[in-house]
Chains A and B, each alone.
Chain A
Amino acid sequence: MTVRTLKQLSDLLAAGKTSAVELAQDYLARIDALNPTLNAFITVDHAKTLAEAQAADAARAAGNAGLLTGAPIAHKDIFCAEGWKTSCGSKMLDNFISPYDSTVVEKTRAAGLVTLGRLNMDEFAMGSSNENSFYGAVKNPWDLQAVPGGSSGGSAAAVAAGLAPVATGTDTGGSIRQPAAFCGITGIKPTYGIVSRYGMIAYASSLDQGGPLAHTAEDCALLLNVMAGFDERDATSLQHDKEDYARDLNQPLAGLRVGLPREYFAEGLAADVAGAIDAAIGELKKLGAAVVEISLPNTKLAIPSYYVIAPAEASSNLSRFDGVRYGHRAAQYEGLNGMYEQTRAEGFGTEVKRRILTGSYVLSHGYYDAYYLQAQKIRRIIANDFQAAFAQCDVIAGPVAPNTAWNLGEKNADPVAMYLEDIYTLGVNLAGLPGMSVPVGFGNNGRPVGMQLIGNYFAEARMLNVAHQYQQVTDWHNKAPAL
């Protein structure tokens, strides 16, 4: 397989060398062939996809095509899409057909992108391996024994395996960056508030942020241009002027200051991952960047802080799944409380229950100050650490995760061990900063390594510029797994 980028498809469509229907059929055929192995998609609906493709071709024929009209996309099953089952990877929503579009889906539709289907994910976006899905684990296209990462595991696997050129994802504690790293593709989590959360099923509201997964930084920029923008239906959406995230892609990197956080290269980082990151930083230096050592002294505190705040918000966000109005309802129960208990016992998986219980506990009377308030204070300290670091550098570079993808089933018995794998990604969400993952090679086991770039607020264009320049002199992003 050769990698096909969104940019290439857009050029082919513009040149009349292919059509939306042809592309849709092509990708649907590949999904039909490979999805039984990878399990990246939860829902595929040929008729719906082809109808969208025909509409896109008609728009182009009528002279109403935009840059991306007719190009395919697949959505993480967390973005509500009218008429599509929107399950969020949960039995709870297995029967939920959304009656409305999320802002992200509305925007991709308006841009003429054609929906290939709905992507697998960890249930309610809780997980780092995509093993927590009601629809079963997603396989890593580079190694079917390996996890694809999570929670946007379906998104990353689909793009890596060429089942979709680009995909949407969400990132609450690393859920775009880590699967992108594990699957050898590029993904960006924007500044909190850039992409509307309206219609994006909430896990932890103050941390959740949608973003693109793609092969290249350029594709990420093109898709982010579609996804981003102020939305009055989301009170946490930022009134930030519309940007062209591709505008700086071709800027040279001379004079760029890259900060390397001491704590991200300390004990715990696997040697093969460190090696790949070092080599990538070497490339950035060759491109004219200067490297400065920085410190993010409270990196370790991100884990306990995150695993208090995220479950606290989740415990409340998931209360609406009560079997009353939509979604799963137990067939057998006694009384109102029995209905709630039985419905939720059946509808939620183990990790979701664990986080609801944790979250309910830390918010309960007498524990709130010790856990939730304390975690919020740490959150502020972590954000301050980043601001101090950005006084010394323009972007921060480091690993996305301490290790390459682990084996399916390997860490299931030990949730805390899995939580520790999130150490480099959580701080970005706690601080609300943009972060991205760029493929920079492979580990000893042949599984991909991702380099993380972290920018200050609204530095997406600069980060995409750095990644794009790196991708001009390397070809990790053009590697495709043999399937």
Chain B
Amino acid sequence: MKWEVVIGLEVHTQLTTQSKIFSPASTAFGAAPNTQTAVVDIALPGALPVMNKAAVEKAIQFGLAIGGKVNRRSVFARKNYFYPDLPKGYQISQFELPVVEGGAITINVDGVEKTINLTRAHLEEDAGKSVHEDFHGQSGIDLNRAGTPLLEIVSEPEMRSAAEAVAYAKALYSLVTWIGICDGNMQEGSFRCDVNVSVRPFGQAEFGTRREIKNLNSFKFIEQAVHAEVRYQIELIEDGGKVQQATVLFNPDTGETRAMRSKEDAHDYRYFPDPDLPPLVIGEDWIERVRGELPELPAAMQQRFQSQYGIPAYDASTLTASKALAAFYEATVAAGADAKLASNWIMGDVSATLNREEKDITASPVSAEALAALIKRVMDNTINNKTAKDVLKKMWESGATDPSVADTIIERDGLKQETDTGAIEAIVDAVLAANPKAIEEYRSGKEKALNALVGQVMKGSGGKANPAMALELLKKKVG
């Protein structure tokens, strides 16, 4: 039987506020345990939550960025359950009336565009952490993270493969970091995905029973976990079993998913509106102000890059992977580099080197202006492409923020292209004399035979000959 995979994601994004969602304590990561806790975070008797407006503002930003509906009135509810790292015995979240509803995100898998609709996004507080190491037979509780603001973003079950799920997670990640509501630090848990997976025979309208893979904090794990889960479900059904609704954990070491709890022991969370917090009312003026302050979004920027710079869709999409990369590109073009050449260089050597060194574009030792100066020397035939790659490597090693660095290196190392016809002619003559067979082939109609000789001319010139000029001369001589 052919199986269709159905995937929906719930993503917890940690919002970049200075203080917690309902308390004045700091949200900074990595402090000594329980030092970032106000009375609310420890849930002392009598402590009361007070809404942090900065968190609401970030939710509004998100709602506008995905084209969703920002609810003028939303309600905080209590999700009741006991756990040592949940100090109040309930989590303040939003249940019936979330702050954002609807909206969509576009993904691109192998050149095919697809729109993934979002169900909702709601504000809630994070729990603390249980620490099991260092306590013999006991657990420690660190409440520094308790009360950190989260925006839980829930998609419709519209993804049909692990690749789509990863593409969605990446697109969402790119968006929340782009608009600056999340720092995107996945190791520290700033962006955590719960993935709901089910399978059904192709053509069947109803969904299969789903299992939810909890807490995946890397794109690689999402891909591996979905594959493992799909394999498990299909094998189970084909062996005559039935999928039981469950929450599962993915173990990256074994590559397997393992059930944590089944539907039978699911909690009754006894949701009800939190009487300590009045409904969250968001005025039209607040929404309009946030709308006015939103940065240009990736989709709009891609369109603009195509029309303004005349670069292909692929380039535009790659260059808008992050705001910093897009800014670097625009600065390079603004400094005089050809738009397509700048794109090629940034997507090519610059990105490759950054990847190798595990650096972000913001850490590039070569500035956009310095790169543009280098590209200009390719444009005006001062150096050829191959030499330019070497120059870039040198610029990278020495660091190049000033636009003069490329010229200095070209001058110092004598890398200027040889454009003196007389000098190249001598080399061409020598090369032709040593390769009678190639001449033979060319004359018999094999055009490409001369291309091999260009390489020899280049070599003879120490790389400084202009390859186009060399080919021109070869053709003329063999003529």
B276:A205 contact, CB within 8 angstroms: yes
A319 and B272 contacting across the interface, CB-CB below 8 Å: no
Check: B430 CB closer than 8 A to any chain A CB.
no
Q: Mark A198-224, 1 if CB is under 8 A from B, else 0.
A: 111110111000000000000000000
Whole-angstrom CA separation of A382 from B460 in the bound complex: 99
For residue B277, CB closer than 8 A to chain A, the reply is: yes
When A360-B270, A365-B268 are in contact, do A320 and B48 touch as well, CB less than 8 Å?
no
Question: Do A316 and B141 touch (CB < 8 A)?
Answer: no
Residue of A nearest to B80 (CB): A316
Please tell me which stretch of B83-91, B101-109, B295-303 contacts chain A, meaning at least 4 of its Cβ atoms lie within 8 angstroms of it. Answer: B83-91
State the Cβ distance, B172 to closest chain A Cβ, in Å. 31
Task: Report if B203 contacts A (CB, 8 A).
Answer: no
What are the residues of chain B within 8 A of A96 when measuring CB–CB? 45
- B268 contacts A364, C-beta separation under 8 Å: yes
Task: For residue A114, give the distance in angstroms from its CB to the closest CB of chain B.
Answer: 22
Q: How far is the CB of B347 from chain A (nearest CB, A)?
A: 50
A333 at the interface (CB under 8 A from B): no
Chain B's closest residue to A319 (CB) is: B89
CB < 8 Å: which of B44, B88, B141 contacts A319? Answer: B88
Point out which of A88, A320, A365, A368 has the most chain B C-beta atoms below 10 A from its C-beta.
Answer: A320
Q: Which residues of B contact A365 (CB under 8 A)?
A: 268, 270
Stretch in A11-19, A158-166, A231-239, A271-279 touching the partner:
A231-239
Q: How far is the CB of B53 from chain A (nearest CB, A)?
A: 12
Query: Measured between C-beta atoms, what is the minimum distance from B122 to chain A in Å?
Result: 18
* B131 CB-CB contact with A under 8 Å: no
User: Given the complex, which residues of A lie within 8 Å of B272, measured CB to CB?
Assistant: 312, 316, 363, 368, 372
Which one of B49, B90, B272 has the greatest number of beta carbons of chain A within 10 Å? B272
Complex interface: chain A residues within 8 A of B80 (CB): 315-316, 319, 363
A102 and B84 alpha carbons, distance in the complex (Å): 25
A324-B84 contact in complex given A201-B46, A360-B270, C-beta closer than 8 Å: yes
Asked if B336 is an interface residue, CB under 8 A from chain A, the answer is no
Contacts of A313 in B (CB 8 A): 275
Closest to B83 in A: A336
Q: How far is the CA of A127 from the CA of B46 in the complex (A)?
A: 19
Closest to A324 in B: B84
Q: Indicate if the CB atoms of A206 and B89 lie closer than 8 Å.
A: no
Q: Among residues 193 to 209 in chain B, which have CB atoms less than 8 Å away from a CB atom of chain A?
A: none
Q: Which chain A positions have C-beta within 8 A of B3?
A: none
Cα–Cα distance between A37 and B272 once the two chains are bound (Å): 43
Q: Is A100 in contact with B44, judged by CB distance below 8 angstroms?
A: yes
Known: A206-B275, A235-B277, A236-B276. A102 touches B46 (CB 8 A): yes
Interchain CA distance A324-B88 in the complex, whole Å: 11
Whether the pair B276, A340 counts as a contact (CB closer than 8 A) is no
Structural contact, B88 and A320, CB atoms closer than 8 A = yes
Report yes or no: A320 in contact with B43, Cβ–Cβ below 8 A.
yes
B66-95 Cβ-contact flags toward A at 8 Å (1 or 0): 000000000000101010100111100000
Nearest-neighbour CB distance to chain A for B401, whole angstroms, equals 47
Residues of B within 8 A of A372 (CB): 272
Interface residues of A in 94-126 (CB under 8 A from B): 96, 98-100, 102
Does A235 contact B45, Cβ atoms closer than 8 Å?
no
Closest chain-A Cβ to B86's Cβ sits at a distance in Å of 9
Q: Is the CB of B46 within 8 A of A198?
A: yes
Q: Which residue of B has the minimal Cβ distance to A373?
A: B272
List residues of chain B with CB within 8 A of the CB of A312: 272
Chain A residues positioned under 8 Å from B49 (CB to CB): 235
Q: A205-B276, A340-B82 are in contact. Are A200 and B88 (CB under 8 A)?
A: no
Inter-chain CA distance A236–B49, complex, in Å, is 10
A93: nearest residue on chain B (CB-CB)? B45
Interface flag for A80 (CB, 8 Å): yes
Supposing A316-B270, A316-B272 touch, asked if A88 and B50 sit within 8 A by C-beta, the answer is: no
Q: B87: which of A100, A205, A324, A336 is its contact (CB, 8 Å)? A: A324
Q: Do the beta carbons of A319 and B82 come within 8 Å of each other?
A: yes
Q: With the chains together, A192 CA to B272 CA distance in Å?
A: 20
Q: How many residues of A contact B (CB 8 A)?
A: 45
Within residues 366 to 402 of chain A, which ones have a CB less than 8 A from any CB in chain B? 368, 372
Complex CA distance for A315 and B88, rounded to whole angstroms: 12
Q: Contacts of A319 on B, CB cut-off 8 Å? A: 80, 82, 88-90
Whole-angstrom distance from the CB of B273 to the nearest CB of chain A?
9
Provide the B249-286 mask, 1 if CB < 8 A to any CB of A, else 0.
00000000000000000001011100111100000000
A326 to B143, CA, bound (A): 14
Choose one: A88, A201, A234, A363; the contact of B270 (CB below 8 Å). A363
- B42 close to A (CB within 8 Å): yes
Cβ of B39 within 8 Å of any chain A Cβ, yes or no, is: yes
- Tell me which residues across on chain B come within 8 A of A98, comparing CB atoms: 44-46
CA distance A206 to B78 in the complex (A): 14
Contact of B89 among A88, A199, A316, A337 (CB under 8 A): A316
- A234 to chain B: closest CB distance in Å? 5
A79 nearest CB across to chain B (Å): 8
What CA separation (Å) do A73 and B49 show in the bound complex? 29
Q: Taking the complex as formed, is A86 at the interface, i.e. its CB lies under 8 A from any CB of chain B? A: yes
Query: Given the complex, which residues of A lie within 8 Å of B277, measured CB to CB?
Result: 235-236
Proximity bits, A160-204, B CB within 8 Å = 1, else 0: 000000000000000000000000000000000000011111101
Residue of B with least CB distance to A327: B45
Cβ of B313 < 8 Å from any Cβ of A? no
Cross-interface CB contact of B51 among A100, A235, A325, cutoff 8 Å: A235
* Complex contact A199–B46 (CB within 8 A): yes
Q: A316-B270, A320-B43, A363-B270 are in contact. Are A233 and B48 (CB under 8 A)?
A: yes
**How far apart are the CA atoms of A321 and B42 in the complex, in Å?**
11
B185 to chain A, nearest CB (A): 28
- Considering only residues 300-334 of chain A, those with a C-beta below 8 Å from chain B are 312-313, 315-316, 318-322, 324-326
- Chain A, 252-281, contact with B by CB distance < 8 Å: what is the 0/1 string? 000000000000000000000000000000
Given A235-B276, A312-B272, is A200 in contact with B46 using a C-beta cutoff of 8 Å?
yes
Assembly CA distance A79 to B45 (angstroms)? 9
Which of A198, A325, A326, A337 has most chain B Cβ within 10 Å? A325
Cα-based distance from A478 to B270 in the complex (angstroms): 49
In the assembled complex, the CB of B137 is this many whole angstroms from the nearest CB of chain A, namely 12
Closest approach, in angstroms, between the C-beta of B9 and any C-beta of chain A? 25
For the complex, give the distance between the alpha carbons of A63 and B277 in Å: 41
Within 8 A of B (CB), among A328-363: 336-337, 340, 360, 363
Inter-chain contact B84/A336, CB cutoff 8 Å: yes
For B46, list chain A residues within 8 Å (CB): 79-80, 86, 98, 102, 197-202
Chain B hits for A99, CB < 8 A? 39, 44
Which B residues, 26 to 62, have Cβ-Cβ distances below 8 Å to chain A? 39, 42-51
A205 touches B275 (CB 8 A): yes
**10 nearest CB pairs, A to B:** A319-B89, A205-B275, A206-B275, A363-B270, A199-B46, A320-B43, A201-B45, A80-B46, A365-B268, A201-B46
Of the A-B pairs whose beta carbons lie under 8 Å apart in the complex, a sample of 20, sorted by A's number, is A79-B46, A80-B44, A80-B45, A86-B45, A198-B46, A206-B275, A234-B48, A235-B276, A235-B278, A236-B275, A236-B276, A315-B80, A316-B89, A316-B270, A319-B80, A320-B43, A320-B89, A363-B270, A365-B270, A368-B271
Given contacts A202-B276, A322-B89, A365-B270, 18 further A-B contacts (CB under 8 A): A80-B44, A100-B39, A197-B46, A197-B48, A198-B47, A200-B46, A206-B275, A233-B48, A235-B277, A236-B275, A313-B275, A318-B89, A319-B80, A320-B88, A324-B141, A325-B141, A340-B82, A368-B271
Interface residues of A (CB under 8 A from B): 79-80, 86, 88, 93, 96, 98-100, 102, 197-202, 204-206, 232-236, 312-313, 315-316, 318-322, 324-326, 336-337, 340, 360, 363-365, 368, 372
